[in-house]
């Protein structure tokens, strides 16, 4: 096997974006395992992080399947991935901030995400979610880091993958 095939900096645009899609699927699969296998109930901010990974995965898949030859098409898919990732970074950052609050400053637990979607318009629902609630401040470490820290790390790595893949010239495919 060629050594270049193992180097992410040498992957083609298509391979890079399909790998990004597979990573997103793996992360979402782990989130479901954590929920149903480990009993970690997701808070509203966790749900929004999952949505961000889902959106990134969708744009990675579309970009990988389409694999446009020109830079404008490649950067369009990369921009969509980066925009989704930015939403995830903001959400994970807010989640980490809530987890660092002293116990007396943690917001009280609010209604579940399903109720918020049903009962409030989108703007008010987003405001309530990002204000935070008690369940968002609960820290359950995995390999020493809380889940939103892992999410933040993966959002940044996937964003870097989209940029590196999009910078590849068509002749290098």
Q: What is the pLDDT of residue 171?
A: 43
Segment of 11-15, 28-32, 69-73, 114-118 carrying the highest mean pLDDT: 28-32
Per-residue model confidence as pLDDT tens digits over 135-154: 666 777 778 888 899 999 99
Whether 173 shows a pLDDT value over 50: the answer reads no
Per-residue pLDDT at 40 exceeds 70: yes
pTM: 0.80
Best CA proximity match to 170, nearest among 82, 66, 59, 74: 74
- Domain extents in the chain: 3-172
Q: What is the pLDDT of residues 67-122, one digit of tens each?
A: 888 888 899 999 999 999 999 999 999 888 888 877 776 665 555 666 666 667 77
pLDDT score of 51:
93
Share of residues in the chain with pLDDT > 70 (%): 73
Asked whether the predicted pLDDT for residue 7 surpasses 90, the reply is no
Residue 122 tokens, joined: 């989108």
Q: What is the pLDDT of residue 172?
A: 46
What is the reported pLDDT for 145? 87
Residue 113 phi, psi (nearest 5): -65, -35
Residue 103: CB atoms within 10 Å:
7
Query: End-to-end alpha-carbon separation of the chain, Å?
Result: 18
Q: What is the DSSP string of 27-48?
A: HHHHHHHHHHTS--PPPHHHHH
| Whole-number Cα distances in Å, 70 to 24, 149, 173 | 25, 35, 12
The pLDDT of 16-30, averaged and rounded, is 96
* Assigned superfamily of 3-172: DsbB-like (1.20.1550.10)
Q: What is 44-88 written as a DSSP string?
A: HHHHHHHHHHHHHHHHHHHHHHH--SSHHHHHHHHHHHHHHHHHH
Give how far Cα 112 sits from Cα of 18, 44, 140, Å. Answer: 34, 7, 19
């Amino acid at each position: 096997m060629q050594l270049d095939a193992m180097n992410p900096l040498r992957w083609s645009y298509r391979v890079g974006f399909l790998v990004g899609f597979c990573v997103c699927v793996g992360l979402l699969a782990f989130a479901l395992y954590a929920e149903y296998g480990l009993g970690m109930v997701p808070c509203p901010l966790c749900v929004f992080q999952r949505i961000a990974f889902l959106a990134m995965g969708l744009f990675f898949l579309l970009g990988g399947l389409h694999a446009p030859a020109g830079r404008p098409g490649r950067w369009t898919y990369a921009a969509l991935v980066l925009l989704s990732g930015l939403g995830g970074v903001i959400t994970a950052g807010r989640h980490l901030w809530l987890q660092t609050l002293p116990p007396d400053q943690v917001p009280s637990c609010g209604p579940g995400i399903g109720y918020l979607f049903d009962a409030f318009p989108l703007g008010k629902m987003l405001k309530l979610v990002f204000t935070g609630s008690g369940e968002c401040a609960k820290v359950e470490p995995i390999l020493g880091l809380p889940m939103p820290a892992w999410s933040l790390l993966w959002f940044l790595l996937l964003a870097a993958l989209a940029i590196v893949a999009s910078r590849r010239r068509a002749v290098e495919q």
